[in-house]
Chain A
Amino acid sequence: MNQFATFVQLVVDGLAQGSIYGALALAIVLVNQATGLVNFAQGSMAVLGSYIGMTVGNLFIPSTGAIVGIIIGIVVAVIASMAMGGLVERFVMRRFERAEEDTKVVATIGLLTLITGLVGLIWGFNPTPYPFFFGGSESLRIGGVSISVWSIVTFTTIIALMIVLQILFRGTKLGLGMRAVADNAPSAALAGIRVGGMRMAGWGLAAALGTVAAILLASKSQLTPNNFDGILVYALAAVVIGGLDSPLGAVIAALGITILESLAAAYVPWIGHDLKVVVPFILVFIVLIIRPQGLFGRRTVVRV
């Protein structure tokens, strides 16, 4: 394989893996847009959603065949996650409505631990294969570069979801309501917007989105209760770099981080594969110093 093909291969691999990080980052941005806080349980909620999808899918596959069964599993997982997200907001986070920001964040960390434990309790901690339309191994060869079908599906799904979200936030009434509530909930209420409803919608949509990402990830590797713990770190890095209020920024940052990481691992000898995990942190560090609102975030100007 020539040098250029190697480079392209690294970029392509980075794009697919980065899409997963990007999807979770999108979910975090969504919750932040609806409620103004960062949900550390986003990953574990997604994993719970994908376990539900797997269980339901496996239930149907013997009678309906693989493809229909898997689709039913995904649809049920998305709907269940949406409900779960809404319920978590309504019955857990709502209780912290008047609490300090730090308290709310700690509550989401509590949820992370609780949900991961719950999943382990029900499904065990051993990795489980996730049923998928195709193995992770089929791939197309273009020039000297091989692109797996999984990469193509993952990448296009995430890009499509990102566009839909961007339209939701910037172009629809629901999106406007959610942003108004995130920006200034008391004012939004005075304008007649149902604050609680908007927050539930935001959490529900985010949970559904996270579940799609978790299913895509599990289709390539396997499902474990801790599947998303490591990925949450990358997603948070992407959110910080891209900007907490920019869906587009979060996805671009996630893709950028992953590509840079795999390039750094391959071309910078002292980083290599062992140290590549520091790359996102270095980027976060630089961005926080130079542009704290994130590369695509809107600067908040405070005037008195």
Chain B
Amino acid sequence: MPLLELTDVTAFYGPVQVLEGVSISVPEGGAVGILGANGAGKTTTLRAISGTVRAGGSIQYEGRSIRGLRPERVASLGIAHVPEGRGTLGNLTVRENLMVGAYTRKDRRQVVSDVDYLLELFPNLKARIRSNASALSGGEQQMLAVSRAFMASPRLLVLDEPSLGLAPSTARTVYDAIARLRKESGIAMLVVEQNANLAFSVVDSVTVLETGRSVLSGTTAELRGNDDIRKAYLGG
């Protein structure tokens, strides 16, 4: 049984249908990328999972439907969503942001060691632990957003375009850290990304969305061999 299974998911913004039938499957401990052009419905797919847009179709997590649950409920089931634009809490310090991530946890000792682990993974954050999140650079904010999601000790990490607005080298650093997080924690991941090369460094399979539909999926190896995909997303 997959950890997360979307079948023919639909969603509307007002009268406009944004998702017309998205199907994605994330196995336990696996990492799946969602590729697609602007407006293909990538972000909306993630929002449907975390309960921030109303969706139709079937969204199964650990074998039960989570469609229609409120965001805080979905989060408490172990799905941590790093939203588009990072969603850091600007007026809270770096440490407070991390503690917000751990809000629903009861295992205090493990929380403390997770903070230490993340600060070792992201030395930039360690140096700015008392700064307000709004004072961080874009790359640091993204690192903080990923760290905050990790602090929830999730079973599934949902990342919405972690490279957005970052310089290429910074985006690389963020992805290297995400890859390391995945290797060391075994958390399943669902990653939306425009930059397929970055996505391929973390995920093992990919679903391609076009105008609100999943049109293609396969392992990264299969898709690297697909000429259309190479041309469209991997720079030839």
List chain A positions with a Cβ less than 8 A from chain B.
173, 176-177, 179-180, 183-184, 186-195, 245, 298, 300-304
Contacts and interface: CB of A to CB of B under 8 A. Distances in A.
A187 B149 CA distance: 10
Contact of A301 (B72, B76, B88, B135): B135
25 contacts: A176-B92, A176-B96, A176-B99, A179-B89, A179-B91, A179-B92, A180-B89, A180-B96, A180-B100, A183-B89, A183-B90, A184-B87, A186-B52, A187-B83, A189-B70, A189-B72, A191-B80, A191-B100, A191-B103, A193-B72, A194-B72, A195-B72, A302-B134, A303-B136, A303-B141
A193 B91 contact: no
Contacts of B75: 189-192
B88 A245 contact: no
A182 to B, nearest CB: 8
Given A173-B103, A303-B137, A187 B88 contact: yes
B65 interface: no
Contact of A187 (B70, B87, B96, B132): B87
Contacts of B92: 176, 179-180, 183
B103 A177 contact: yes
A188 B100 contact: yes
A193 B100 contact: yes
B57 interface: no
Nearest to A297: B91
A193 B87 CA distance: 14
Interface of B: 50, 52, 70-72, 75-76, 80-81, 83, 87-92, 96, 99-101, 103-104, 132, 134-138, 141, 148, 152, 165
A11 B152 CA distance: 51
Contact of A245 (B71, B91, B100, B136): B91
Given A184-B87, A186-B83, A191-B152, A303 B103 contact: no
B134 A189 contact: no
Which among B71, B100, B101, B137 has the highest number of chain A CB atoms within 10 Å? Answer: B100
A298 B132 contact: yes
Given A176-B100, A177-B103, A190 B71 contact: yes
B71 to A, nearest CB: 4
B83 A193 contact: no
A252 to B, nearest CB: 20
A301 B134 contact: yes
A224 B76 CA distance: 47
Nearest to A179: B92
Contacts of A177: 100, 103
A183 B100 CA distance: 12
A184 B103 contact: no
A98 to B, nearest CB: 13
B15 to A, nearest CB: 17
B90 to A, nearest CB: 6
B76 to A, nearest CB: 5
Given A183-B92, A190-B71, A303 B87 contact: no
A304 B139 CA distance: 11
Contacts of B89: 179-180, 183-184, 187-188
A303 B76 contact: no
Contacts of B104: 191-193
Contact of B91 (A183, A186, A189, A195): A183
Contact of A176 (B52, B83, B103, B165): B103
B107 to A, nearest CB: 14
Contact of A190 (B80, B132, B135, B141): B80
Contacts of B99: 176
Contacts of B96: 176, 179-180
A184 B132 CA distance: 14
Contacts of B135: 301, 303
Contacts of A191: 75, 80, 100-101, 103-104, 148, 152
Contact of B132 (A189, A192, A194, A301): A301
Contacts of B80: 190-191
B85 to A, nearest CB: 10
Nearest to B134: A301
Contacts of B137: 303
